[in-house]
Every structure is written in C-alpha cells, then in structure tokens.
Amino acid sequence: METRRIKGTKDILPEETEIFLAAEKELRETMSKYGYREIRTPVFEYTELFIKGTGETTDIVNKEMYTFEDRGGRSISLRPEGTPSVIRAYLENNLYKKRNFQKLFYYGRMFRYEKPQAGRFREFRQFGIESVGSSSPQVDVETIILGLEVLSNIGLKRVELQLNSVGCENCRPSYKESLRNFLEPKLNNLCDDCRRRFETNILRILDCKKTNCRKVLKNAPTYIQYLCNECKNHFSEVQYLLQKTNVNFTLNPYLVRGLDYYTKTVYEFISQVLGAQDAVGGGGRYDKMVELFGGPQIPAIGFACGMDRILLAIEKEGEIKIIEKKLDCYIVTMDEETDEEGFLLLNKLRKKGISTEKDFLNRSIKAQMKDADRLGAKCSIIIGTEELSRNEVTLRRMSDGSQKRIRLSVDEIIKELNNNIKQ
Ligand code: HAM
C-alpha cells in the first residue's frame, strides 16, 4: 500500500496554513478595493473546455492535464488553470446580460502534471482575475497595477514587470512568416521541442530557455515590428499609461506565455529572488475567448499568480511574518476534582470569547505551566485543591509571574483576565 503523498503535492501544516490565511486576507481586501468580486467554479470540467480554451498546442493541454473518464464515459479534467472555467461560467450564467463589464476574481487549487521542482508543483494554489467587457488599454493597466499591489500587500517586494504584445489575428500571420523564414535555415541548432514547435506553435520557440535556442534567437525578428496599427496603438497607450502611473516595466520581446489565447498585451510578474521558476504571476488580454465559447464578441483580460510560489519568494526575501497567536488563558489543575472544575470553566470562558486551553493529559503542574508558556498564554488560572475549597482560584500573569487570588466566579475571572490581557 502506498501511504506517501503524491509527488508534487504538499501538506500544508498548521503553521504554514496561518501564513496562507494571512496572505488570503490581504488578497481579498485588495480585490475588493479594486471592485473585483469572487467567483468559485468547479475543480473539474469537461476536458474539451481546456482543449478549446487553453489551447490544443499548449504543453498544459498536451502533457500536463489530469484527465480521466467518469462513470458516464465523459472525459473530465482537473482544472490546470482558471480562465476557461471563469469564461464558461460567465456565459453559462449570462453574467454579460446582467452587467456588461464584469470584474471577477478567484482563488483555488489548480493541477498540472509538471516535473516537480522548487516552486513548481502538481497541485498548487492560484489566485487570478478576469476583467471581461472592455477593450480599453486603461483596463490592461488597471489589472497590472492591481497585480503589483496585491503582490506587495501580501508581502512580496522585489518584483519586475515584464511586458510584450502578441498582436492579433490580423498581424500574427506576417510575424509568424518572418519568424519561420528566420528560423528555417537554423532548425538544426534548435532543441527537439523547438523543432516540434516550429510546426505546431512557432511563437513558443521564443520562450525556450535552452542556451542553444536562445543563441539562435538572438537576432530573431521581434513582434513589435510587425504589429498592425490597432495593436501598435493599443500597446503604445498601455506603455504611456504605465509611465504616467509610475509603474516600472521591462519590454521583453521573447515573452509569449504558455497559453494559446492571448491577444495584444501580455505580461509577467517576475520575482527577483527566485531561480528557474521565477514567474510569480502572468496574464494578458484574450479578446477572442468569449466568442470562441459561443458568446458575443466581448474582449477580456486577466492574470493569475501562484500563491505557493509567492510565499516561497517572500520567505527568500526574508519577509515572512510569523504570526504570533497568543492565548488569553491557560487553566492549570491539580487532581480529578479541580480538573473537572477546570473543564467547566474552560467552556464558560470560551463562550465569553476568551481563548482558553487546558491540559488533557493529566500532566504535572510544572508540565502544565510549560505548556502554557509554549502556547504563549497571557494568563493562567490555577485551580488548586485548597483554592477550590474556598471557592477561589489563582490568576497568574505569565509575563512577570505576578499572582493574585480571586473568586471562582466567571464574571470576576473575566474582569480580571480582561485587565491583564489588554496589557
Ligand atoms: P500561467 O502563467 O500558466 O497563467 O500561471 C500563472 C501563475 O501560476 C504562474 O506565474 C505561477 O506563479 C503559477 N503556476 C503555474 N504553474 C505552477 C506550478 N506547476 N506550480 C506552482 N505554481 C504554478 C495562467 O494560468 C492564466 N490562466 C493567467 C491568466 C488569467 N491569463 C488571463 N487571465
């Protein structure tokens, strides 16, 4: 029996969960500030959705999907990314009829059968946005500013914005043609994958990280020279607005992204402290997907960021804040009788909103005190046999060890605890 976790997945233990929760809180606050509302779609969809949406020639669809047949004989896939699902839900629920400009965000698990390495998992968490309904370059810039702000609010400081345009169906054929003419005589110097891409998806060659391929690409024609007037104007306006809003960016003519649906603006958020897997987020405009899924002609743009990768980068930057959760009160007991009294008090205090713990292992007083310290308790309530006989308890302030006898009455204990907790 295999009892280990699956390669490329991880257990997020309570301490790390706290870090995720803090990041998720920042995420939701920032999204709400920019008017994005959360959408939750199923974790699996019909495989066709991704074939059509993400793209047949992408590595994601070709090599990385978790696909299976359900009992009804339909092909189902765990979602490798969120965009096709959100656009499907947008159409299926007629969101465009309710409001012609929709700003949606999501957060959840994605699944890709990739080669696991630092920052690359088979199950990972992504948050993303999809802004559907406007072709304005202002929206491109809004998504970028939001992306940078959310990363910064979560705690990531050293991020570079890389920018490119991948044009549209009008200008793409002439660029592809020029790239084909440039690469054809050099095919032997390209890696196997790129030779295959030459036939299936030539633009992806620009993205290859292999040294030989990079050498070949050095003098390759860039897309910018081939953009049609509309794409050129759009791209100029995006850059102008980024400058006007003081957003630094680097133009990267090799940035093409690993998904088929992009048109015009594409961008990536690159961490300056991560190694090979340094993209903490990426996105771009995809003006044809709504139509491709059978809807009206509605433009869209969005991005997604990998939460696991972001937290890794924050840790590398040395900025992970350890969230210190302090306990208000720890109840120390001595024997069976005081222990039962302690249990009753524990429940009464919790009901009144005071975070309280007690021992359940019949440990010595010394061990209970150590436990109280380990949990960061601000106060302990000691119920001794003699104290109980007088209907009293001892309240100990953990910071300086000062002690005080008080009446065993919930109201009195709460009053005293409140005086000490606030300090
Ligand atoms: P993507 O570039 O495939 O874009 O993924 C976005 C981010 O998800 C990456 O930059 C990375 O941080 C994270 N990520 C991807 N794969 C993994 C992995 N195996 N392990 C850990 N993190 C990973 C998209 O998914 C598009 N849907 C973005 C988009 C939204 N475009 C338009 N709208």
Mean pLDDT in the chain?
95
Q: Are residues 398 and 252 in the same domain?
A: no
pLDDT in tens, 156-182: 999 999 999 999 999 999 999 999 999
Neighbour-count burial for 14-30, b at 16+ CB within 10 Å, e otherwise = eeeebbeebbeebbbeb
Within 13 Å of residue 114, how many CA atoms lie on the same side as its CB? Answer: 18
User: For position 161, which CATH number holds?
Assistant: 3.30.930.10
Whether 9 maps to a domain, the answer reads no
Whether 52 maps to a domain, the answer reads yes
pLDDT in tens, 340-388: 999 999 999 999 999 999 999 999 999 999 999 999 999 999 999 999 9
Q: Are residues 140 and 283 in the same domain?
A: yes
Q: Which two tokens stand for residue 340?
A: 């039962």
- Which of 263, 290, 317 is a domain's end point? 317
Residue identified by tokens 């040395």 is 318
Q: Percentage of the chain with pLDDT > 70?
A: 99
> For residues 43 and 89, what is the distance between their CA atoms, to the nearest angstrom?
13
- Which of 317, 341, 366 is a domain's end point? 317
Which residue's CA is the closest to the ligand 1 atom numbered 15? 306
Specify the 3-state DSSP secondary structure of 20: helix
End-to-end Cα spacing for the chain: 53
Which residue's CA is the closest to the ligand 1 atom numbered 25? 81
Q: Are residues 350 and 313 in the same domain?
A: no
Please give the model's pTM, rounded to 2 decimal places: 0.91
Q: Are residues 164 and 91 in the same domain?
A: yes
Q: Write down the pLDDT at residue 221.
A: 94
> For residues 330 and 9, what is the distance between their CA atoms, to the nearest angstrom?
36
User: Residue 138: pLDDT band by 50, 70, 90 thresholds?
Assistant: very high
> For residues 218 and 155, what is the distance between their CA atoms, to the nearest angstrom?
36
Whether 380 maps to a domain, the answer reads yes
Query: Which atom of ligand 1 is found nearest the CA of 130?
Result: 33
Q: What angle do CA 288, 130, 301 make, to 5 degrees?
A: 45
Q: Which two tokens stand for residue 342?
A: 């302690």
Cβ atoms of 205 and 217 within 8 Å: the answer is yes
CA of 96 to the centre of ligand 1 (A): 25
Residue 323 has pLDDT above 70, yes or no: no
Residue identified by tokens 């050095």 is 218
> For residues 150 and 156, what is the distance between their CA atoms, to the nearest angstrom?
9
Which residue's CA is the closest to the ligand 1 atom numbered 14? 306
Q: Are residues 93 and 165 in the same domain?
A: yes
Which amino acid is located at 53 in the chain?
G
Residue 322 has pLDDT above 70, yes or no: no
> For residues 327 and 122, what is the distance between their CA atoms, to the nearest angstrom?
36
Q: Are residues 153 and 70 in the same domain?
A: yes
CA of 291 to the centre of ligand 1 (A): 23
> For residues 252 and 392, what is the distance between their CA atoms, to the nearest angstrom?
72
User: Residue 89: pLDDT band by 50, 70, 90 thresholds?
Assistant: very high
Cβ atoms of 379 and 389 within 8 Å: the answer is no
Ligand 1 site residues (CB inside 6 A) read 81-83, 112, 114, 120-121, 124, 126, 128, 130, 258-259, 279-284, 286, 302-306, 308-309
pLDDT in tens, 185-195: 999 999 999 99
- DSSP category for residue 408: S
Pseudo-torsion of CA 372, 377, 379, 384, nearest 10°?
A: -20
Residue 321 has pLDDT above 80, yes or no: no
Q: Write down the pLDDT at residue 272.
A: 93
Q: Are residues 151 and 79 in the same domain?
A: yes
Q: Are residues 256 and 392 in the same domain?
A: no
Q: Are residues 245 and 381 in the same domain?
A: no
Q: Which two tokens stand for residue 199?
A: 């036939």
Which residue's CA is the closest to the ligand 1 atom numbered 2? 282
Residue 324 has pLDDT above 80, yes or no: no
Q: What is the mean pLDDT of residues 24-43?
A: 97
Q: What is the mean pLDDT of residues 98-102?
A: 93
**Could you list the residue range(s) of the whole structural domain that residue 70 is in?**
14-171+227-317
Cβ atoms of 286 and 81 within 8 Å: the answer is no
Q: Which two tokens stand for residue 372?
A: 């109280």
Q: Are residues 41 and 99 in the same domain?
A: yes
Residue 8 has pLDDT above 70, yes or no: yes
Residue 319 has pLDDT above 90, yes or no: no
Count how many domains the chain has: 2
Whether 128 maps to a domain, the answer reads yes
Distance of CA 358 to the CA centre of its chain: 36
Q: Write down the pLDDT at residue 352.
A: 93
Distance of CA 407 to the CA centre of its chain: 50
Q: Angle formed by the axes of helices 137-154 and 307-317, to 10°? A: 50
Q: Strand 250-251 vs strand 265-271: parallel, antiparallel, or unpaired?
A: unpaired
Residue 400 has pLDDT above 60, yes or no: yes
Q: Are residues 269 and 362 in the same domain?
A: no
Q: How are strands ordered across the β-sheet holding 67-69?
A: 44-46, 75-78, 67-69
Q: Strand 159-165 vs strand 327-333: parallel, antiparallel, or unpaired?
A: unpaired
User: Residue 279: pLDDT band by 50, 70, 90 thresholds?
Assistant: very high
Whether 213 maps to a domain, the answer reads no
Specify the 3-state DSSP secondary structure of 203: helix
Within 13 Å of residue 346, how many CA atoms lie on the same side as its CB? Answer: 18
Whether 305 maps to a domain, the answer reads yes
Residue 112 has pLDDT above 60, yes or no: yes
Which residue's CA is the closest to the ligand 1 atom numbered 13? 306
User: Residue 423: pLDDT band by 50, 70, 90 thresholds?
Assistant: low
Residue 398 has pLDDT above 60, yes or no: yes
Which amino acid is located at 159 in the chain?
V
Cβ atoms of 294 and 101 within 8 Å: the answer is no
- Which of 317, 348, 366 is a domain's end point? 317
pLDDT in tens, 202-256: 999 998 888 999 999 998 999 999 999 999 999 999 999 999 999 999 999 999 9
Q: Which two tokens stand for residue 187?
A: 């095919």
Q: Write down the pLDDT at residue 276.
A: 82
- DSSP category for residue 161: E
Neighbour-count burial for 76-104, b at 16+ CB within 10 Å, e otherwise = bbbbbbbbbbbbbbbbeeebbeeeeebbb
User: For position 371, which CATH number holds?
Assistant: 3.40.50.800
Q: Write down the pLDDT at residue 169.
A: 94
Q: Which two tokens stand for residue 224?
A: 């910018």
Whether 362 maps to a domain, the answer reads yes
Torsions phi, psi of 166, nearest 5? -110, 20
Whether 140 maps to a domain, the answer reads yes
Q: Are residues 248 and 374 in the same domain?
A: no
User: Residue 420: pLDDT band by 50, 70, 90 thresholds?
Assistant: confident
